């Protein structure tokens, strides 16, 4: 068994290997347009994959929170307002017994 | 390394560049601090110490991966759990491969250790700033470094207030803190919208993740869904 510090070091190693690896790779292996497209789409896919099951499990307060965040971000592009609005939506919805 | 086609100067690093990079980063700092605080709050709720949370922010320096791994944090890790941590971190950060690769023609002209050393600082924000500047014909790597140092300092420092706030909250559910991850990710997703062609990978990712979450315990739905969404993006025709 390993402690939290080891896990943090593992994360750092994984993240930095990708940063160094991409730099190393360029010029040795051709990055095709298809591979570029896949890597481009990956972060959005991670985010979508994380949101949907968690929201489905947490129910109506989570749906209201996500909707609030998306509306505020689309209208104002302000992370602080959006996140605060999302939290407020959860608190209000749960307070109302939803 | 071959320089880029066209008449772009050899790379250099100036104090003016460092300052300009820092200046270009200013508008992003409120978002960085909010994100770092969100991670800090989650870290406090999941049982990390303040020192561990700040260590993670300073040496991993990858907000989205930190949120995902921390959501599933434990106090002792088996070898299998460590492998899972590495896999999840790699999946969430796979885009760094592309970002670092695209910086090669520019930073590859620097001495090797400087080129590779710079890559350790790559995150989304400084990459976008550097690529925009490069597209305008600039060659001063100070732009990238100035932006990086600014982002790093505010990300690490921003972890602390969120942590201290999160440690005060005894009933995380009542304050919606159990939903921090999806709330932050929803805020990240909106600026990534590039019209309908972005929707398909997201829908595939979300749909597969939902299916995997029902079939497999744990947090594998994030990795599985992400790979499915990315594959979908690769399969869609260019002209779409």
Instruction: Give residue-wise pLDDT tens across range B6-60.
Output: 445 677 789 999 999 999 999 889 889 988 999 999 999 999 999 999 999 999 9
CA distance B189 to chain A (A): 6
Phi first, then psi: what are they for B140, rounded to 5°? Answer: -80, 110
d(CA B150, CA B18): 10
Same domain membership, residue B146 and residue B94: yes
Q: What single-letter DSSP state applies at residue B239?
A: T
Return the percentage of chain B with pLDDT > 70, whole number.
94
Residue partners of B48: CB distance under 8 A and separation at least 6: A4, B56, B70, B73
pLDDT, tens only, B115-156 = 999 999 999 889 989 988 988 888 899 999 999 999 999 999
Domain holding A63, by residue range, is 43-98
Provide the pLDDT confidence category of residue B2 given band limits of 50, 70 and 90.
very low
pLDDT, tens only, B190-199 = 988 888 888 9
Same domain membership, residue A93 and residue A60: yes
Domain holding B238, by residue range, is 193-240
Residue from A13, A17, A41, A71 to probe the interface with B (highest B Cβ count within 10 Å)? A41
**A58 domain residue, yes or no:** yes
Residue B108 has pLDDT above 80, yes or no: yes
pTM: 0.85
Q: Are B236 and A60 in contact (CB under 8 A)?
A: no
**B117 domain residue, yes or no:** yes
Same domain membership, residue B126 and residue B226: no
**B114 domain residue, yes or no:** yes
Quote the pLDDT of residue B219: 79
Quote the pLDDT of residue B240: 47
CB A86 to CB B66 under 8 A? no
Q: Are B41 and B180 in contact (CB under 8 A)?
A: yes
**A36 domain residue, yes or no:** no
- CB pairs < 8 Å spanning A and B: 307
Of A15, A55, A73, the CB nearest to B65: A15
CB B233 to CB A37 under 8 A? yes
Quote the pLDDT of residue A98: 83
Q: Which of B144, B204, B177 is nearest to B45 (CA)?
A: B177
Same domain membership, residue A69 and residue A22: no
């Amino acid at each position: 068994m390993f402690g939290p510090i080891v896990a943090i070091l593992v994360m750092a190693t994984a993240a930095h290997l990708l940063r160094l690896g991409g730099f190393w790779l360029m010029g040795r292996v051709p990055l095709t347009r298809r591979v570029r497209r896949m890597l481009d789409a990956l972060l959005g896919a991670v985010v979508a994959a994380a949101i949907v099951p968690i929201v489905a499990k947490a129910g109506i307060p989570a749906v209201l929170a996500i909707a609030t965040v998306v509306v505020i971000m689309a209208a104002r592009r302000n992370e602080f307002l959006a996140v605060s609005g999302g939290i407020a939506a959860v608190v209000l919805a749960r307070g109302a017994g939803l | 390394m071959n320089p880029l086609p066209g008449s772009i100067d050899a790379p250099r690093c100036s104090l003016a560049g460092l300052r300009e990079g820092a200046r270009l980063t200013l508008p992003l700092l409120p978002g960085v601090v909010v994100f770092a605080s969100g991670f800090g709050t989650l870290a406090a709720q999941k049982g990390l110490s303040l020192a561990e949370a700040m260590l993670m922010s300073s040496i991993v320096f990858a907000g989205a991966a930190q949120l995902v791994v921390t959501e599933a944090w434990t106090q002792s890790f088996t070898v299998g759990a460590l492998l899972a941590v590495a896999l999840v971190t790699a999946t969430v950060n796979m885009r760094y491969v592309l970002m670092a690769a695209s910086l090669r023609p520019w930073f590859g002209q620097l001495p090797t250790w400087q080129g590779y050393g710079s890559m350790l600082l790559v995150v989304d924000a400084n990459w976008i700033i550097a690529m925009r500047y490069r597209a305008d014909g600039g060659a001063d790597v100070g732009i990238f470094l100035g932006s990086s140092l600014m982002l790093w300092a505010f990300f690490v420092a921003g972890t602390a207030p969120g942590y201290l706030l999160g440690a005060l909250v005894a009933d995380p559910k009542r304050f919606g803190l159990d939903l921090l991850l999806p709330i932050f990710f929803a805020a990240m997703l909106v600026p990534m919208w590039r019209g309908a062609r972005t929707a398909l990978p997201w829908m595939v990712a979300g749909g597969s993740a939902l299916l995997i979450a029902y079939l497999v315990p744990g947090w594998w739905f994030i990795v599985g869904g992400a790979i499915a969404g990315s594959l979908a993006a690769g399969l869609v025709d260019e002209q779409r």
